[in-house]
């Protein structure tokens, strides 16, 4: 069971001081699966995401990503692993304000030994794919919220990850734009087979996932 | 390090980058200017001796003659024996030597300062060859005289006149403008060294104060290895005794009395303070700038940048910023140095080095050599300053980068 999926976390616990945020969570995601994580504010969704993606280490429990046990990896090993296998989408976009759209997309490639022209080409392709071919040279400040999030999605895809972690990617967008972003994610999941683990508050969007995981007070309830 | 990222960051955050660079550039400019001034003073101090083709002059103080009649030595320049000078000449680092014999001659109707000079030597008063205002320079084997232009004018002496000095006749063959050439070893009348020697040998007054034989002199001009000048001075005193007066560029530097001239420790200390303050300012502003980018750093780490990647990127940015600061500082310093190069300095020439009897016109006056301070920024200083900025950038970037790179990438999941 542990290594069957693209991602699996087993009996994950996380405490901040005396505050136990995760109380033994197990979750597996299959390759190409689209999973939505829902639950009340403060129940530990973001914390779980950061453990599963290797941004943070659990107090207890194990995570394996694409067959690799990452709980015991060093910080740099985790960084290299994320670089190769994982994509991130954030609620607040987190684009670099001084870099243009395509440079933001290429950001994960910068430290790699790939010629710059090739980096640019890959970033451009991703932007084309997200229908942003006409805005590649713009700074984030010149883009709308939906465009920013599309750039962020292109960045999450540029390293051809097997799984994308998205923490409330529509949280800062109006419902129509959020709907559009959701359909992009659905399309990527369907066409490219990239697995997605997404946190959302919006029931309408959550319904569109392959599977819904509900959390309450640091535990999975359904 | 990603150069594109560095350039974009500096370009779009240019105001903030400039503020950080500005403090450092002022410090770098101060460092350069202080050192350029110090070098300029040092060069200025060499000029009085350089004019006479020397690096060092040597003379020896003695007693005041009992009676001022006939040829006597000024009390600041008595006999330097031939064999003593041979010893001096063989000291390591000495490249050449010029000799002269300075006499005060008291004749019944006139008193004059007479300098016996070598005819051909690039070191010493023979450089007057290039300052003949009228007539010609001394010719070999002839007993003839050159007269200082101002003195000739004052006493109505003309070319072709015959001067009677202690009973010997010398035709005036040239007028020299010594004031233009040098401030050291100036006299009223210049004779061939041989003739001056004869005057000295014949003078009882002179012999009674300081025994003298032909071949001895009382002024010596020395050309020496630059880096040996400091050590030569005590070595000469050992041969010539404590009463020997050895003048070097350093002794002129002390006479200049400027803070820069007085000690290179002052320059060093002031430069260090300027640089440390500049580093602190640069460090503080850059620390603020980097702290503001904590979230950005978190994003880099989340998308797979290692700590090393982050640190190198930040070092690159800091180095670029400080390089700009260094170049800015250098430009500023060049402009200021150019301005300072219009400044005049007056180097006092000690009376001993150009002794005029105080009862002669102008005899008690302090003589000054006035020149424009040669302030320039030497290449080595410019390169050093820019390199220093780069090093400061590297260290600041490294220090701040390592600190900020510790940020946990999970922080970026939290939104403000
Ligand atoms: N670094 C931390 N230090 C201390 N407490 C933390 C830390 N990170 C999270 N917490 C706490 O853990 C609990 C869960 O936080 P988490 O961000 O995982 O919730 P969430 O389900 O994502 O909430 P939301 O829907 O509001 O984003 C919260 O009570 C939060 O205050
Ligand atoms: Mg959250």
* Residues B70-92 pLDDT 10s: 889 988 899 999 999 999 999 99
Q: Is residue B253 part of a domain?
A: no
Best of B303, B308, B405 to disrupt the A interface by mutation (most A CBs within 10 Å)?
B303
Contact criterion met (CB < 8 Å) for A82 and B11 = no
**Are B33 and B161 part of one and the same domain?**
no
Output the six-digit token pair for A43: 């129940």
**Cα A40 to middle of ligand 1, angstroms:** 11
Chain A hits for B13, Cβ within 8 Å:
98
pLDDT at B258: 66
**Are B113 and B37 part of one and the same domain?**
no
Given a cut of 80, whether residue A47 has pLDDT beyond it is: yes
Strands of chain A, DSSP E: 7-16, 19-29, 34-39, 60-65, 68-69, 86-89, 163-167, 195-199, 211-216, 219-220
CATH no. of A7-220: 3.40.50.300
**Are B189 and B225 part of one and the same domain?**
yes
- Residue A185 · residue A205 · CB < 8 Å: no
**Are B237 and B279 part of one and the same domain?**
no
**Are B83 and B213 part of one and the same domain?**
yes
**Looking at residues A112-137, what average pLDDT do you find?**
94
**Cα A20 to middle of ligand 1, angstroms:** 10
Given a cut of 70, whether residue A66 has pLDDT beyond it is: yes
Is residue B166 less than 8 Å (CB to CB) from chain A? no
Distances (CA, A) of B33 to A12, A222, B339, B370, B378: 64, 74, 11, 22, 11
**Are B186 and B302 part of one and the same domain?**
no
pLDDT at B370: 86
Is residue A80 less than 8 Å (CB to CB) from chain B? yes
Domain boundary among B247, B270, B297: B247
**Are B312 and B238 part of one and the same domain?**
no
pLDDT at A94: 94
- Residue B190 · residue B125 · CB < 8 Å: yes
Cβ–ligand 1 distance for A22 under 6 Å, the answer no
Given a cut of 50, whether residue B168 has pLDDT beyond it is: yes
pLDDT class of B178 with cuts at 50, 70, 90:
confident
| B212: nearest Cα among B110, B77, B118 | B77
Contact criterion met (CB < 8 Å) for B410 and A56 = yes
Q: Which of A24-28, A147-151, B200-204 has the lowest mean pLDDT?
A: B200-204
Q: Is residue B255 part of a domain?
A: no
**Cα B414 to middle of ligand 2, angstroms:** 7
Domain boundary among B177, B212, B247: B247
Tokens 């300081």 label which residue?
B210
Q: Provide the shortest C-alpha distance from residue B327 to chain A (in Å).
A: 24
**Looking at residues A122-132, what average pLDDT do you find?**
95
**Cα A27 to middle of ligand 1, angstroms:** 18
**Are B338 and B376 part of one and the same domain?**
yes
Chain B hits for A139, Cβ within 8 Å:
12
How confident is the model over B384-398, as pLDDT tens digits? 999 999 999 999 999
Q: Provide the shortest C-alpha distance from residue B12 to chain A (in Å).
A: 6
How confident is the model over B353-390, as pLDDT tens digits? 888 777 666 666 778 888 898 999 999 999 999 999 99
pTM given for the model: 0.82
Q: What is the largest CA-CA distance in chain A?
A: 51
**Are B132 and B174 part of one and the same domain?**
yes
**Total domains in the fold of chain B:** 2
Is residue B372 less than 8 Å (CB to CB) from chain A? no
* Candidate of A27, A42, A45, A217 to mutate for ligand 1, largest count of ligand atoms within 8 Å of Cβ: A42
**Are B85 and B171 part of one and the same domain?**
yes
Contact criterion met (CB < 8 Å) for A155 and B303 = yes
User: What proportion of chain B, given as a percentage, has pLDDT over 90?
Assistant: 57
**Are B273 and B163 part of one and the same domain?**
no
φ and ψ of A207, to 5 deg: -60, -30
Closest ligand, as measured to the CA of A40 = 1
For residues B193 and B210, give the distance between their C-alpha atoms in angstroms, rounded to a whole number: 18
Q: What are the residues whose beta carbon lies below 5 Å from ligand 2 (ion)?
A: A 46
Given a cut of 50, whether residue A1 has pLDDT beyond it is: no
> What is the H or E stretch that residue B367 is in?
strand B367-372
pLDDT class of B287 with cuts at 50, 70, 90:
very high
For residues B23 and B17, give the distance between their C-alpha atoms in angstroms, rounded to a whole number: 11
Q: Provide the shortest C-alpha distance from residue B328 to chain A (in Å).
A: 24
Cβ–ligand 1 distance for A45 under 6 Å, the answer yes
How confident is the model over A133-154, as pLDDT tens digits? 999 999 999 999 999 999 999 9
How confident is the model over B205-249, as pLDDT tens digits? 888 888 999 899 999 999 999 889 889 999 999 999 989 999 998
Given a cut of 50, whether residue B108 has pLDDT beyond it is: yes
pLDDT at B262: 56
Given a cut of 50, whether residue B1 has pLDDT beyond it is: yes
pLDDT at A102: 97
CB atoms within 10 A of CB B360: 14
Strands of A42-191, DSSP E: 60-65, 68-69, 86-89, 163-167
- Residue B356 · residue B103 · CB < 8 Å: no
Q: Residue A38's beta-bridge partner residues?
A: A214
Pseudo-torsion of CA B215, B219, B223, B228, nearest 10°? 110
Q: Looking at the CA of residue B408, tell me the nearest atom of ligand 1.
A: 1
φ and ψ of A80, to 5 deg: -65, -35
CB atoms within 10 A of CB A100: 21
What ranges in B158-302 are assigned the alpha helix state H?
178-181, 193-202, 204-209, 229-240, 249-256, 259-262, 264-291, 294-302
**Looking at residues A105-125, what average pLDDT do you find?**
95
Chain A hits for B415, Cβ within 8 Å:
90-92, 171-172
pLDDT at B362: 65
Given a cut of 90, whether residue A110 has pLDDT beyond it is: yes
**Are B402 and B307 part of one and the same domain?**
yes
Residue numbers of the domain that contains B408? 3-47+260-413
pLDDT at A2: 45
pLDDT at B411: 83
Q: Whose CA is nearest to atom 24 of ligand 1?
A: A41
Q: Residue B268, CB half-sphere, CA atoms under 13 Å: how many?
A: 4
Contact criterion met (CB < 8 Å) for A79 and B304 = yes
Sheet of A68-69, strand order:
A19-29, A7-16, A60-65, A68-69
Q: Is residue B96 part of a domain?
A: yes
pLDDT at B412: 79
pLDDT class of A98 with cuts at 50, 70, 90:
very high
Cβ–ligand 1 distance for A44 under 6 Å, the answer yes
Of residues A58 and B256, more confidence is placed in A58
How confident is the model over A143-201, as pLDDT tens digits? 999 999 999 999 999 999 999 999 999 999 999 999 999 999 999 999 999 999 999 99
pLDDT at A168: 94
Helix, strand, coil content of chain B in percent (nearest 5): 55, 20, 30
Q: Is residue B240 part of a domain?
A: yes
CA of residue A188 relative to chain centroid, distance = 13
Q: Is residue B194 part of a domain?
A: yes
* Domain range annotation of chain A: 7-220
How confident is the model over B309-324, as pLDDT tens digits? 999 999 999 999 999 9
Chain A hits for B302, Cβ within 8 Å:
55, 82, 88, 94
Q: Provide the shortest C-alpha distance from residue A98 to chain B (in Å).
A: 6
Given a cut of 90, whether residue B68 has pLDDT beyond it is: no
């Amino acid at each position: 069971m542990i290594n069957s999926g693209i991602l699996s976390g087993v009996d994950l616990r996380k405490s901040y001081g005396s505050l136990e945020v995760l109380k033994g969570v197990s979750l597996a995601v299959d390759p190409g699966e689209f999973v939505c994580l829902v639950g009340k504010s403060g129940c530990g969704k973001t914390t779980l995401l950061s453990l599963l993606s290797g941004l943070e280490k659990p107090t207890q429990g194990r995570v394996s990503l694409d067959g690799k046990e990452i709980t015991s990896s060093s910080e740099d090993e985790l960084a290299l692993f994320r670089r190769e296998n994982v994509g991130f989408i954030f609620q607040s976009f987190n684009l670099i304000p001084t870099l243009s759209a395509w440079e933001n997309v290429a950001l994960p490639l910068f430290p790699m030994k790939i010629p710059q022209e090739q980096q640019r080409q890959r970033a451009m392709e991703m932007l084309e794919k997200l229908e942003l071919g006409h805005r590649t040279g713009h700074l984030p400040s010149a883009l709308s919220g939906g465009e920013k999030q599309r750039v962020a999605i292109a960045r999450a895809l540029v390293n051809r990850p097997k799984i994308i972690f998205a923490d409330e990617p529509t949280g800062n967008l109006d419902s129509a734009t959020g709907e559009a972003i959701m359909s992009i994610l659905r399309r990527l999941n369907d066409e490219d087979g990239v697995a997605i683990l997404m946190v959302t508050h919006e029931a309408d969007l959550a319904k569109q996932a392959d599977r819904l995981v509900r959390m309450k007070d640091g535990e999975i309830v359904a | 390090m990603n150069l594109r990222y560095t350039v974009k960051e500096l370009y779009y955050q240019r105001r903030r980058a400039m503020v950080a660079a500005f403090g450092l550039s002022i410090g770098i400019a101060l460092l350069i200017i202080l050192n350029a001034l110090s070098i300029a003073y040092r060069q200025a101090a060499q000029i009085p001796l350089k004019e006479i083709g020397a690096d060092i002059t040597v003379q020896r103080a003695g007693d005041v003659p009992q009676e001022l009649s006939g040829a006597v030595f000024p009390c600041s320049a008595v006999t330097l024996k031939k064999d003593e000078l041979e010893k001096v000449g063989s000291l390591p680092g000495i490249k050449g030597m010029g000799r002269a014999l300075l006499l005060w001659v008291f004749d019944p109707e006139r008193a004059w300062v007479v300098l016996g000079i070598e005819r051909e030597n690039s070191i010493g008063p023979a450089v007057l060859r290039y300052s003949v205002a009228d007539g010609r320079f001394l010719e070999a084997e002839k007993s003839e005289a050159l007269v200082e232009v101002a003195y000739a004018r004052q006493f109505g002496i003309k070319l072709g006149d015959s001067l009677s000095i202690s009973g010997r006749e010398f035709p005036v063959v040239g007028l020299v403008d010594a004031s233009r050439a040098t401030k050291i070893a100036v006299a009223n009348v210049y004779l061939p060294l041989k003739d001056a020697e004869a005057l000295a040998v014949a003078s009882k007054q002179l012999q009674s104060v300081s025994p003298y034989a032909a071949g001895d002199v009382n002024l010596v001009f020395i050309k020496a290895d630059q880096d040996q000048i400091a050590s030569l001075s005590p070595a000469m005193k050992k041969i010539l005794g404590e009463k020997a007066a050895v003048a070097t560029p350093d002794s002129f530097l002390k006479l200049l009395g400027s803070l820069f001239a007085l000690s290179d420790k002052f320059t060093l200390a002031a430069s260090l303070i300027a640089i440390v303050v500049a580093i602190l300012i640069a460090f503080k502003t850059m620390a603020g700038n980097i702290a503001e980018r904590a979230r950005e750093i978190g994003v880099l780490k989340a998308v797979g940048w290692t700590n090393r990647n982050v640190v190198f990127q930040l070092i690159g940015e800091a180095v670029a910023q400080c390089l700009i600061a260094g170049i800015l500082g250098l430009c500023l310093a060049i402009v200021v140095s150019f301005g300072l190069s219009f400044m005049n300095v007056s180097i006092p020439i000690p009376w001993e080095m150009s002794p005029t009897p105080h009862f002669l016109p102008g005899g008690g006056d302090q003589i000054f050599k006035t020149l424009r301070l040669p302030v320039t920024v030497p290449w080595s200083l410019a390169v050093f300053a820019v390199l220093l900025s780069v090093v400061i950038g590297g260290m600041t970037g490294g220090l701040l980068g390592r600190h900020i790179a510790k940020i946990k990438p999970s922080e970026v999941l939290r939104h403000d």
